[in-house]
Amino acid sequence: MKRKTLIIGGTKGIGKAILENLKSHECHVISRSYSARQNHYALDVLQDELPEIEGLNNIVYCPGSITLKPFHRLTVEDFISDYRVNVLGAVRVLQFYFKELKKNKGSVVLFGTVASQQGMSFHASIAAAKGGLESLARSLAAEWAPNIRVNVVNPSLTDTPLAEALLSTDQKRENAAQRHPLKKIGSPEDIAEAAIFCLENQWVTGQTIGVDGGMSTVRV
Ligand SMILES: NC(=O)c1ccc[n+]([C@@H]2O[C@H](COP(=O)([O-])OP(=O)(O)OC[C@H]3O[C@@H](n4cnc5c(N)ncnc54)[C@H](OP(=O)(O)O)[C@@H]3O)[C@@H](O)[C@H]2O)c1
């Protein structure tokens, strides 16, 4: 029988690449925008009623944000909004599906950011939220072992709708690529491969895996 995986945000960017590369799973998808795809639920994961999915094994939570501002211009609302979509949305989903995941020996993949591992200017709000998400993941990996594995993939700048404004000209793309030791920005598939590894490998939990062109660890 196919394993059942719920991808929150499987219609764009990294989530879409995961969906396209997870053919061996029965995938269910949530996003706010409508899709005619089978097993797609159009809803806002932060507030709408979530669908019951019997036999669910895995959850991939993709909603996130990139809020880049100097610290003195960040408002309390910016911090709350980043925390809400990156952390509380995941909390809401994981609390709702916990019993099903436990019953079915599940796996959870969340997305952090390279900016919580390495200090980066203008990232204070998003780094604080994603750092919280990483700590949440490690806590749950401990609390839910051995039944549910929980891991985080930390991308650097990746070519998705979320990063559109940062990659809107050839010059911006080239500059972004050159900032990375591997001299390229990420593709959704680069990140999806790591997420699928975390879903499939049965002996990995509580890990944060950087898929970031060397940004978090390498100086050339
Ligand atoms: N792209 C990057 O450069 C980058 C870098 C570091 C970390 N990350 C992290 O990687 C993760 C995936 O990023 P991405 O670039 O693939 O994002 P994306 O292009 O914005 O895609 C996000 C997906 O989530 C859905 N979504 C967003 N909010 C939702 C909500 N409230 N309810 C239901 N669905 C919702 C979106 O669909 P709808 O809009 O239709 O709802 C979309 O399918 C994020 O957590 C992000 O912070 C990305």
pLDDT single digits (tens) 104-123:
999 999 999 999 989 999 99
Distance CA 63, CA 111 (A): 9
In the numeric block, which tokens belong to residue 23? Answer: 């053919």
- Our mutation pick for probing the ligand 1 site, out of 7, 8, 14, counting the most ligand atoms within 8 A of Cβ, is 14
In the numeric block, which tokens belong to residue 130? Answer: 């994603």
The ranges assigned to domains in the chain are 4-210
pTM: 0.98
Residues of the chain with pLDDT under 50: none
Residue nearest to atom 1 of ligand 1 (CA): 158
Calculate how far, in angstroms, residue 11's C-alpha sits from the geometric centre of ligand 1.
9
**Sign of the torsion formed by the C-alpha atoms of 41, 45, 51 and 54:** positive
In the chain, what percentage of residues exceed pLDDT 70? 100
Say if CB 176 and CB 166 are below 8 A apart.
Answer: yes
Domain 4-210, CATH: 3.40.50.720
Residue 45 CA neighbour count, 13 Å, CB half = 31
In the numeric block, which tokens belong to residue 84? Answer: 């809400």
DSSP 146: T
